[in-house]
Amino acid sequence: MKRRDFLRNSGVLIPSLLGGLSVKAFSVEDLLMQGMFLPTTETDHVLVIIQLSGGNDGLNTVIPLEYYSNYTNARSNIAIPQQSVLSLSGTQKVGLHPAMTGLQNMFNDGRVKLVHSVGYPQPNFSHFRATDIWMSGSDSNTTVNSGWAGRYLNYEYPNFPNGYPNASMRDPLAIQIGSITSLTLQGPAVSMGMSISNTNNFYNLINGVQDPAPETPAGKELKFVRMVAQQTQQYAAVIKDAASKITQQVTYPTNNSLADQLKIVARLIGGGLQTRIYMVNYGGFDTHSAQVDSTDNTTGNHARLLKNVSDAIKAFEDDLKFMKVDDRVTGMTFSEFGRRIKSNGSIGTDHGSAAPMFIFGKNVIGGVLGDTPNIAASVSVNDNLPFQYDFRSVYATLLSNWLCVDEKDLQQIMLKNFQMLPLVSTVSCKKPINLSGETLISNYPNPFTSSTVITFKTSGGHTLVQIMDTSGKVIANLVDKNYTAGNYTIVFDSGNLPTGVYYARLQNMATQQVHTMLKAR
């Protein structure tokens, strides 16, 4: 095949051949138009997203010391011994897995916000569908083909990729390391990010090393495509320039693929890239069996995973501080779902619903957000934790209060209106939100047989009262409208619902609270 024929016929394959580094040729007209594409907001803030693939077991990550006896009853074969749980400053209600000393230190320094029981109303237990829900920011019964971060970047940089890079934004809008660019970064029309499919590709790029081409009839053409791409790829040039500015970093843990990815992210941030969003991935959290060692519940597969996550984030935070750029960066972890309350007979846990998230960085409001997950004295294999916070509230808060999106545009990006949470401090874009510790929702009688009166307090504005079952599914929206401030009552008629535990969830603007109810015979 002639070289020009190969180029003409294989143009659509170039991004994958380059390990995810997209190639675009820019005309003179494109370059003349560059000055017209200004970002919507002026901020140098960076958001780092860490995906924990497989569904992390939240109850063995953040141990509910407040209900420890019920926790051990539900998970006698995998429970973390109380004396081994890592303590956290300011609370005796929860602690961390003993392998997570790095995050413990960060929490105690005020650089971590632990958000309890993050989920959504109709949980999906399929890895693929649940991941799509978290990445798109959609309702579980709606398919959305764009990602929440991709919609944000499309709002910030309209008409991408036409006219980019330009004088206002020479750098990649988003970078994903460790896999192909995910749905999270997908905009309404095109992907808004570039991917570096593995850490070796990054170092080959900045060192001018090409991956070996296969000894096939197309090998010479492939080598030529890579050479042309390296010469013409403008994003590759700015990445190399940024990386070359950093000659010293802190020591990262070895044999830790998440640490390898975050080390690259820190180097690019420290080197001055104005990239808004970075995404990395660490897998292996689908712990149906052998989650712990049979002889020691503090060791095993899950302990190894949590140690690598904790150590990698701690090294990353230390590195940002060392390079004096930690003021620019906030990070977050997410997993597509948590695990069931009760462990299984294979020394593991099955797919569940709500789980904790960690928000970290210099400008994070440290501490615990939400109530300790309330574990009943007796639980079945199907029981799940009710969600306290919608994961999209975390996204919306970080977009508004960290990446400085205007309120009028936030709902369009997030597709709905979600409550703001106290996650980042006043030095960012918005003032933090203080949540009251008083009881805001209750019911009487409790237990009840067929109906019960739910009393709730609202400070005014949009108020939502939902009823959830123990699987974590929302079975009724009793209230969903605007109120003036005050105390209100509503009757919940349970109808033909079976006897058992139910949860009443109140959401009033930035405030939420979950209350346990018992239907008896």
- The residue ranking higher by pLDDT, 265 or 26, is 265
472 pLDDT tier (thresholds 50, 70, 90) = confident
Q: How confident is residue 181, by pLDDT bands cut at 50, 70 and 90?
A: confident
Measured between alpha carbons, how far is 420 from 400 in angstroms, rounded to an integer?
8
Q: Taking 60 as the threshold, does the pLDDT of residue 50 lie above it?
A: yes
Compute the chain's Rg from CA coordinates. 24
Report d(CA 50, CA 257) in Å as an integer. Answer: 12
Closest to 81 (Cα-Cα) out of 97, 66, 67, 93: 97
Question: What gap in Å lies between CA 513 and CA 463, rounded to an integer?
Answer: 12
- Report pLDDT digits (tens) over 364-397: 999 999 999 999 999 999 999 999 999 999 999 9
pLDDT at 215 over 70: no
Higher pLDDT, 123 or 164: 123
Query: DSSP readout, 424-479?
Result: B-TTSSS---PPP-S--EEEESSSBSSEEEEEEEE-SEEEEEEEE-TTS-EEEEEE
**Tokens matching residue 448:** 């009840």
- Span 454-460, average pLDDT: 93
What is the value of pTM for the model shown? Answer: 0.82
pLDDT band at 220; cut points 50, 70, 90:
low
The predicted pLDDT at position 429 comes to 76
Give tens-digit pLDDT for 67-111.
999 999 999 999 999 999 999 999 999 999 999 999 999 999 999
The answer to whether 73 touches 377, Cβ cutoff 8 Å, is: yes
Helix (H) or strand (E) holding 88: strand 86-88
pLDDT tens for 289-340 read: 999 999 999 999 999 999 999 999 999 999 999 999 999 999 999 999 999 9
Residues 6+ away with beta carbon under 8 Å from 210? 204, 223, 226, 227, 230
> What one-character-per-residue DSSP string does 198-222 give?
SHHHHHHHHHTPPPPPPSSTTHHHH
Looking at residue 29, what is its pLDDT?
Answer: 39
Distance CA 153, CA 21 (A): 18
Cα distances from 97 to residues 28, 56, 374, 377, 505, in angstroms, run: 57, 13, 18, 22, 28
Helix (H, G, I), strand (E, B) or coil at 288: coil
Predicted pLDDT at 235: 85
Residue 407's pLDDT is 84
